[in-house]
Amino acid sequence: MEKKRLVKRQTTDDRRVRLVELTSKGRELISTTFAQHAAAMEKATTLSKEERLRLLELLKNLGKGAEHKHKR
C-alpha cells in the first residue's frame, strides 16, 4: 500500500509503534470503494429502511451489552 502511495508511515520515538496514515489517494480509493460497497449492500437487502434502522439499533445495543458484561 505504501508503494502504491495509498498510505504513508509516520515516525515516532517508540520503535514498537507503527503509525500509518491514509494519503489523499488512499482516502479517495476508500471513499469510492465504500460507496460502491454501500450501493451493493443496499441493492442486496430485502429489509425496508425502517427495518434496517431498527436492526442497526439492536446491533448497537447488543454490542453495548457485550461490552458492559465484559467489563465486569
pTM, two decimals, is: 0.55
Q: Where are the domains of the chain?
A: 7-71
Residue type, 63: G
Contacts of 2 (CB under 8 A, 6+ apart): 8, 9
Per-residue confidence in pLDDT tens, the chain, 72 aa: 999 999 999 989 998 999 999 999 999 999 999 999 999 988 888 989 899 899 999 999 998 877 666 666
